Structure 1
Amino acid sequence: MTVVIEMVSDLVCPWCWLGKRRIEGAIALTPDVDVQLIFRPYELDPSVPAGGVDYKEYMREKFGSDEGKERASAMRQALIDYGQEEGIPYQFDKITRRPNSFDAHRLVRWAQGQEQGSAAKEALFKAFFHDGRDIGDHEVLVDIAGQIALDQKIVADLLATDADVENVRNEANLFRQMGVTGVPTYIANRQFAAQGAETSEKLAKFIRHAATHEPEERPAG
């Protein structure tokens, strides 16, 4: 039986890069299960303007208190440590802009249609969390499209229009309505859910559990 895993995540969420690596690790640990991994959009903060905002100022407002700063610092160090285990080279100090991630989600949607969804997610995470690039900028997105063998002119033309804006927004809203309040969240066959960047071993158990139940609904690709 095929297990369809919908990974709901945001491209400005550092835990989501970790979560992507770990769900891929889980799939590798379950070679006897046919797993289809689909990436779904989520915006942690839809209020960020299209042009993005200064990253340090944004983080200062979010974690302004001394306690908040300590929590943010501890979380960042935890991510760096976990990232080293998964081969993820976080470089938070390079980030200068907190982008609006909506158009990056559009790029993932188009890439996924060309069976390049995983490559798009990986390239976007790396661009933001390692290279410090503004993944809300259309020129950056077109450059990334070229890195994953998408037609850059087509992507540039699409980004200049409202192509798939409604589809991406509806998808993101659907998962909010389903009760997703944090990412990464994994939904198996629209029956079972796991939240957070769990270890690959735990996610492998999640996959095997889903494989023993007939799906009530098969999500569209």
Structure 2
Amino acid sequence: MKLDVVSDTVCPWCYIGKKRLDQALEMHGGEGITLVWRPFQLDATIPAGGVDRKTYMEKKFGAERAKEVGNTIREFGNAVGIDFRFDLIGKSPNTMDSHRLIRWAGTAGCQNEMVGILFRRYFEQGEDIGSHDVLVDAAGEAGMDTDIVRDLLSKDADRDLIAREDAVAREIGIQGVPSFVINSQWVVTGAQEPETLVRMFNKLLAREAEQAAAG
């Protein structure tokens, strides 16, 4: 079973969704599941240098609503072991480069780990994941070749590919993240509970086994 997770690196619900997915994979064992993370930019219009996060969020939601949303997210985050520190985040970055890094991490065999590293650095440590220095350091944490990553980031490598993948996600009807695309056929949206994901894994893997047995 192929499981594509469509996500953005500045989406707090995607971080919660990843924690729940990791729990589900541990509960299930993960056998027979191929996991791939796919890009989705919630706001591709943010400039390369990022924008002030507080101003951005208040413009998007309003000051009181932004505070309410943050409190709700922190509550759900605590339940899965995430210490959201929105107070440490100075910028809302453009996420193109972080998605490029995640793609390269897939080639290096550490994609799921890289996604977790970027979420932690942004949401719990307040680091600017639009910064090439931060991304190179994150690559080093995951065991990637930092010289290669720094060189790729300095160029336009895979920018068009990330933009195309984002466009494809929208074309198949994805409007919110996280979204789970199963075998390129079914889409489940939202940070699903681990038990729900395990039931889905078991059902689909059983179906695949039956089809294989039937020839």
For the criterion TM > 0.5, the same-fold answer is: yes
**Equivalent position to 1:51, from 42, 49, 52:** 49
Structure having the higher helix fraction is 2
Tell me by how many angstroms 1:214 deviates.
Answer: 4.5
Q: Which residue of structure 2 aligns with residue 29 of structure 1?
A: 27
Change (3 A) 1:75 1:205: farther
Tell me by how many angstroms 1:139 deviates.
Answer: 1.0
Change (3 A) 1:137 1:188: same
Of 77-86 and 171-180, more deviation after overlay is shown by 77-86
Of 78-87 and 95-104, more deviation after overlay is shown by 78-87
**Equivalent position to 1:191, from 159, 174, 185:** 185
> What is the distance in 2 between the residues matched to 1:26 and 1:159?
33
Of 32-41 and 99-108, more deviation after overlay is shown by 32-41
Aligned pairs for 1:1-221 within 5 A: 3-31=1-29, 33-64=31-62, 69-214=63-208
Change (3 A) 1:186 1:151: same
RMSD (CA atoms): 1.6
- Runs ≥4 in structure 1, deviation > 6 angstroms? none
> What is the distance in 1 between the residues matched to 2:164 and 2:144?
24
Task: Please report the TM-score for the alignment, with normalisation by the length of structure 2.
Answer: 0.92
Taking only the aligned residue pairs, the percentage that are identical comes to 40
1:85-120 Cα shifts (integer Å, max 9, x gaps): 211111111011000000000000001111110111
> What is the distance in 1 between the residues matched to 2:203 and 2:90?
42
Q: Secondary structure at the match of 2:46?
A: coil
Q: Is the 8 A contact 1:4 1:37 kept in 2?
A: yes
Change (3 A) 1:53 1:198: same
Q: Is the 8 A contact 1:7 1:40 kept in 2?
A: yes
Q: Is the 8 A contact 1:33 1:208 kept in 2?
A: no
Q: Is the 8 A contact 1:194 1:206 kept in 2?
A: no
Tell me by how many angstroms 1:74 deviates.
Answer: 2.8
Of 202-211 and 144-153, more deviation after overlay is shown by 202-211
Q: Which runs of 5+ in 2 are unaligned?
A: 210-215
Q: Which residue of structure 1 aligns with residue 212 of structure 2?
A: none
Q: Is the 8 A contact 2:37 2:111 kept in 1?
A: yes
Q: Is the 8 A contact 1:7 1:186 kept in 2?
A: yes
